[in-house]
Amino acid sequence: MLSIDAVRKEFPLLAERTIDDARVVYLDSGNTSQKPRRVIDAMTEFMETTYAPINRSSYRLAGEATDAYEGGRKAVARLINAPSADEVIFTKNASEALNLVAMAWGRTNLSAGDVVVLTEMEHHANIVPWQMLAQERGIEIRWIGLTDDGQLDLSNLDELLDGAKVLAFTAMSNVLGTLPPTQLLCSAAHAVGALAVVDACQYVPHNVTDVQAWDADLVAFSSHKMCGPTGIGMLWGKMELLDAMPPFLGGGNMIDTVTFEGFTTAPVPAKFEAGTPPIVEAVGLTAAVEFLEELGMANVRQHEMALTRYALDTLNERFGDDITIYGPDNVEVRGGVFSFAFRDLHPHDVSQVLDETNVCVRAGHHCAKPLMKTLGVQSTTRASVYLYNDEADIDALADGLEGATDIFGL
Amino acid sequence: MSGLEDLYREIILDHYRTPRNRGELDTPPATKVDGHNPLCGDEISVYLMVEDAENGDDAIVTDIKIGGQGCSISQSSASMMTNAVIGKRVGDVRAVSRKFKSLMGIENVDLQAGDDEVDLEDLEALQGVVKFPVRIKCAVLGWNTLSSALDEALDPAE
Ligand SMILES: Cc1ncc(COP(=O)(O)O)c(C=O)c1O
């Protein structure tokens, strides 16, 4: 069990920041998470004591900085049960990791008519890079549809996967909270010889992640959604795949040698890390992973399951037909993300009114416009919880919605 | 809730609940332009009828209809906009548009002599939006779309 009071004390913004003399009710962690003190301190301390370039200079300080940066790789590998830290590539964010996959692997292995299968609940980050390939070389994109309760409709999976080269899907929807059967999907992809690419951006921060149990091929996620800093994301991949892939971006650090005639690449992971990487961010990320390990990801998931149940029940009981919450009701297959329609109110107006009581939610399409079309809406209001939220936060959300009714005279 | 009352003035809520000039016009003869707010996905369609388009600024806006969905601010602003432009000279419509955008605190509005005298009428009620900078985009969505529609109506070749 998590002690939320104790957890919240670790987050300066949640513990100390006030707006209009009241605390902030942060329900937008699906967007980006708040940062614990130890992450902030680790980055500051590193810059004050150990900051230097990595992998380029031979003085002792540079060695210490390199070790610190590589420590981030080891921490991430532990968190997702990767066989080797060298399989973890640091990028700018999850979007860049997915672009890396589409550009480096896709450009090498896909040509006109080849099929990439996505789901209707993907984030734009796992759609647009593939659409760029479709524009560039005419690959075909097929879509796994949704059931009425917002789960993947796998009834025609075999048909969709027939002849596919890639299955790329989210391990948790950032709009519906849905947790698809990741392991099953990876094995279905492999059964037809397709690559299994997992967008684990929403999954890793909230669940025990085991990329080996999934038997995924490539997995993308972001530090900033899991208590770490912005500016650093991750791509994990099976070594033999990464080895065979050409580089994505070119420049310093990613080469073995460069001549007037051309270049050869450094081994993985450096091959995919052109230029000066996010060194300070890797140090912050290490502290974030240690924080998550201390809490225990199983405990985090358990806490969020209970809170998700509470949220679904509270909102449905208090608002009945006035609220439509999208996604599955079964918390075994959903995480703590609640996208909803409230009366006839536009999400902008809902979030505006909630902001009056410092309840921070997101209103819009959540970078999933195709999914909005499937749901038959233009946008939704979305509340999303994390390890520092509790029932009082959900109550504040519900109270705020009550206020919206008054203002719009509904 | 002081700020919110400034934002959601009664007249704004009235235009939101009962939007004026909603619907469609046949195209042609009308011009239709879609606008959208990439942040939230709101989409608005402006259908515009301009008479004697060859007269440029002296052409007359004879009819306008609004389609699409949006929040209270974008919807009410578009609704008020329709009232403010029907029957007006194109040149005068552009003046109202400039005045309104400057009321919204939009930079780089090329205010011209005489714009000061423009009466924004109901649209003045939207000035509370300035206190909520993220909502300014909502308030000007219809106006930006109207500007494109005017350009297209006056110079259909483009
Ligand atoms: C499911 C999913 N995939 C990808 C992304 C993109 O992550 P980032 O913005 O860190 O690149 C997000 C973030 O919103 C997401 O929720």
B2-154: which CATH architecture?
A: Alpha-Beta Complex (3.90)
- Is residue A207 assigned to a domain? yes
Ligand 1 site residues (CB inside 6 A) read A 93-95, 123, 125-126, 170, 174, 199, 201-202, 222, 224, 233, 367
Nearest to B41 among A379, A407, A409 (CB): A379
DSSP string, A256-269: EEE-SS-EEEPPTT
Q: What is the mean pLDDT of residues A139-161?
A: 97
| Beta carbons of A353 and B4 less than 8 Å apart | yes
Tell me: the pLDDT tens digits for A233-242? 999 999 999 9
Residues of B in contact with A353 (CB under 8 A): 4
The domain that contains A335 carries what CATH number? 3.90.1150.10
Q: What is the mean pLDDT of residues B28-47?
A: 88
CA A183 / ligand 1 centre spacing (Å): 21
Mutation site, B15, B42, B129, B135, interface A, largest A CB count within 10 A:
B42
pLDDT at A410: 57
Atom of ligand 1 nearest to the CA of A96: 11
Atom of ligand 1 nearest to the CA of A233: 10
Which residue range(s) make up the domain with A344?
4-29+296-408
CA-nearest residue to A370 within chain B is B41
| Residue A139 contacts residue A113 (beta carbons within 8 Å) | yes
Quickly state the pLDDT bin for B158 (edges 50, 70, 90).
Answer: low
Atom of ligand 1 nearest to the CA of A97: 11
Residues A10 and A62 grouped into a single domain:
no
The domain that contains A95 carries what CATH number? 3.40.640.10
Nearest to A378 among B4, B69, B138 (CB): B69
Residues A272 and A328 grouped into a single domain:
no
- Is residue A189 assigned to a domain? yes
CA-nearest residue to B129 within chain A is A352
Residues A103 and A240 grouped into a single domain:
yes
Q: What is the CB neighbour count within 10 angstroms for residue A330?
A: 13
CA A336, A340, A345, A349 dihedral sign is: positive
Residues A262 and A321 grouped into a single domain:
no
Residues A166 and A150 grouped into a single domain:
yes
Q: What are A199's strand-pairing partners?
A: A170, A220
Out of A23-27, A93-97, A345-349, A401-405, pick the least confident: A401-405
Nearest to B71 among A349, A372, A409 (CB): A349
d(CA A255, CA A246): 12
Q: What is the mean pLDDT of residues A34-62?
A: 95
- Nearest residue to B40 (alpha-carbon basis) of B127, B128, B130, B134: B134
Only one residue has tokens 């009056």, namely: A356
Residues of B in contact with A352 (CB under 8 A): 4, 7, 132, 135
Quickly state the pLDDT bin for A344 (edges 50, 70, 90).
Answer: confident
Residues A102 and A250 grouped into a single domain:
yes
| Residue A275 contacts residue A255 (beta carbons within 8 Å) | no
CA A94 / ligand 1 centre spacing (Å): 6
- Is residue A134 assigned to a domain? yes
Would you state the structure tokens that stand for residue A78, as one six-digit string?
Answer: 């532990």
- Is residue A78 assigned to a domain? yes
ipTM of predicted assembly, 2 dp: 0.81
Phi (first) and psi of residue A281, to 5 degrees: -65, -35
Q: What are A115's strand-pairing partners?
A: A140, A164
Query: Which residues of A carry out catalysis?
Result: 367
Burial string for A141-171 (b: 16+ CB within 10 Å, else e) reads ebebebeeebbbebeebeebbeebbbbbbbb
| Beta carbons of B4 and A407 less than 8 Å apart | yes
pLDDT at B5: 83
| Alpha-carbon gap: B11 to the closest alpha carbon of chain A (Å) | 12
What 3-state class would DSSP assign to A89? Answer: strand
> Is the pLDDT at A227 greater than 60, yes or no?
yes
pLDDT at B1: 44
CA A32 / ligand 1 centre spacing (Å): 9
What's the angle, vertex CA A71, arms to CA A69 and CA A74, rounded to 5?
125
Residues A263 and A329 grouped into a single domain:
no
Residues A285 and A304 grouped into a single domain:
no
As for how many domains chain A has, the answer is: 2
Which distant-in-sequence residues (6+ apart) come within 8 Å of A324 by Cβ?
A: A340, A341
CA B69 / ligand 1 centre spacing (Å): 26
- pTM given for the model: 0.93
| Residue A167 contacts residue A188 (beta carbons within 8 Å) | yes
Quickly state the pLDDT bin for B105 (edges 50, 70, 90).
Answer: confident
> Is the pLDDT at A200 greater than 80, yes or no?
yes
Residues A244 and A355 grouped into a single domain:
no
Residues A277 and A371 grouped into a single domain:
no
d(CA B7, CA B130): 9
Average pLDDT, chain A: 96
- Nearest residue to A246 (alpha-carbon basis) of A32, A31, A100: A100
CA A123 / ligand 1 centre spacing (Å): 7
> Is the pLDDT at B123 greater than 90, yes or no?
no
> Is the pLDDT at B103 greater than 90, yes or no?
no
CA A76, A78, A83, A84 dihedral sign is: positive
| Alpha-carbon gap: B68 to the closest alpha carbon of chain A (Å) | 10
Quickly state the pLDDT bin for B80 (edges 50, 70, 90).
Answer: very high
pLDDT at B157: 65
| Residue A338 contacts residue A362 (beta carbons within 8 Å) | no
Q: What is the mean pLDDT of residues A193-205?
A: 98
Using a CB–CB cut-off of 8 Å, the residues of A that contact B are 346-349, 352-353, 356, 363-365, 369, 372, 378-379, 403, 407-409
- Picking from A294, A329, A346, the residue at the C-terminal end of a domain is A294
Residues of A in contact with B7 (CB under 8 A): 352
Residue whose CA is closest, atom 12 of ligand 1? Answer: A201
Residues A134 and A263 grouped into a single domain:
yes
Quickly state the pLDDT bin for B132 (edges 50, 70, 90).
Answer: confident
pLDDT at B12: 87
Tell me: the pLDDT tens digits for A356-389? 999 999 999 999 999 999 999 989 999 999 999 9
Only one residue has tokens 């959601």, namely: B8
- Is residue A34 assigned to a domain? no
Phi (first) and psi of residue B58, to 5 degrees: -90, -5
- Picking from A294, A313, A332, the residue at the C-terminal end of a domain is A294
| Strands lying side by side in the sheet with A323-325 | A323-325, A337-342, A380-384, A362-364
Atom of ligand 1 nearest to the CA of A94: 11
Residue whose CA is closest, atom 16 of ligand 1? Answer: A174
DSSP string, B108-153: T----TTGGG---GGGGGGGGGGGSGGGHHHHHHHHHHHHHHHHHH
- The gap between the terminal CA atoms of chain A, to the nearest Å, is 40
CA-nearest residue to B133 within chain A is A352
One-letter amino acid at A61 equals L
Residue A1: Cβ-neighbour burial (10 angstroms; 0-12, 13-18, 19+): exposed
> Is the pLDDT at A229 greater than 80, yes or no?
yes
Tell me: the pLDDT tens digits for A282-330? 999 999 999 999 999 999 999 999 999 999 999 999 999 999 999 999 9
> Is the pLDDT at B115 greater than 60, yes or no?
yes
- Is residue A250 assigned to a domain? yes
Out of A73-82, A95-104, A217-226, B15-24, pick the least confident: B15-24
Residues A208 and A335 grouped into a single domain:
no
Residues of B in contact with A369 (CB under 8 A): 41
Q: What is the mean pLDDT of residues B115-125?
A: 82
